Amino acid sequence: MARLLLLPACLGDSEPELVLPASYLPRMQHLRAFFVEDVRSARRFLRRIGYKVAFEEVLFVELNEHVRASSLEEVLRDQGVDEALLLAQDAGVLSEAGLPCVADPGSLAVDWAHRKGVQVVPFSGPSSLFMALMASGLNGQSFCFHGYLPAASRERMARIREIESVSFRKCQTQIFIETPYRSQAMFDSLLECCRDETRLCVASSITLPDESIHTWPISRWRKHPASIQKKNTVFLLLA
């Protein structure tokens, strides 16, 4: 029976052998089909980790924000892929960064695999969300991940106040992310609308040479603001 391997990727330009399991590459060398977010970056990553197969022999199915489909069957039809061909072999879901299907596309492929009776095999690897939570010192017993908050300033600050209120009521860590070019704006909004005593962890460039993870009360952040523009950052808040 075919299997679907869930394959993590590096979180940036970190050395693959430092963050990916030793069993990773030998287990994926036989794969000739991948579900990816972007074919070009997937090819670059595969070559970087020593994947030897000629790409002319490899099937890539794209799953990203431009794919508007309710099922993988619909995606395969739209991209002209024979479902029977996929079911006859092992395939991989390759993340752009970190773990597949966690703040990352790929769940359509996993849902399809479960419905078709295909074994799903998750690999361990770096996850900016869970590594940030581990290093934050905040509540790891109860937490909620929100993904991206609104981009517009007014809506973003309203959402932050709502999240802070939930955190206070439930003593629950709230986790969210932002695109690198809006990381600084997110941080500035947090300083503007959160309570002095609310604790905020700012975790940037995890696993990279300029990694920075600090958890301080908002009052201290106001005195020593972070400079995180264009950095991949995870924000964790506990009121």
**CA proximity to 177, closest of 237, 134, 125:** 237
- Residue 64 φ then ψ, to 5°: -150, -170
Q: Model-level pTM?
A: 0.88
State which of 122, 149, 177 marks the end of a domain: 122
- How distant, in Å, are the alpha carbons of 7, 10, 113, 181, 199 from that of 97? 10, 6, 22, 17, 27
pLDDT at residue 1 greater than cutoff 70: no
pLDDT in tens, 164-193: 999 999 999 999 999 999 999 999 999 999
Q: CATH code at 97?
A: 3.40.1010.10
96 shares its domain with 34: yes
CA-CA-CA-CA torsion for 28, 31, 37, 41, nearest 10 degrees? 70
98 shares its domain with 64: yes
* CA–CA dist 45, 236 (Å, integer): 29
118 shares its domain with 147: no
77 shares its domain with 185: no
State which of 100, 122, 144 marks the end of a domain: 122
86 shares its domain with 17: yes
Question: Which has the higher per-residue pLDDT, 103 or 230?
Answer: 230
172 shares its domain with 112: no
* CA–CA dist 233, 131 (Å, integer): 12
pLDDT in tens, 33-77: 999 999 999 999 999 988 999 999 999 999 987 777 778 888 888
Instruction: Look up the domain containing 223 and give its range.
Output: 128-238
State which of 65, 97, 122 marks the end of a domain: 122
Across the strands, what pairs with 94? 7, 36
132 shares its domain with 83: no
Structural domain count, the chain = 2
pLDDT in tens, 117-164: 999 999 989 999 999 999 999 999 999 999 999 999 999 999 999 999
105 shares its domain with 155: no
pLDDT at residue 10 greater than cutoff 70: yes
22 shares its domain with 70: yes
**pLDDT grade, residue 27 (50/70/90)?**
confident
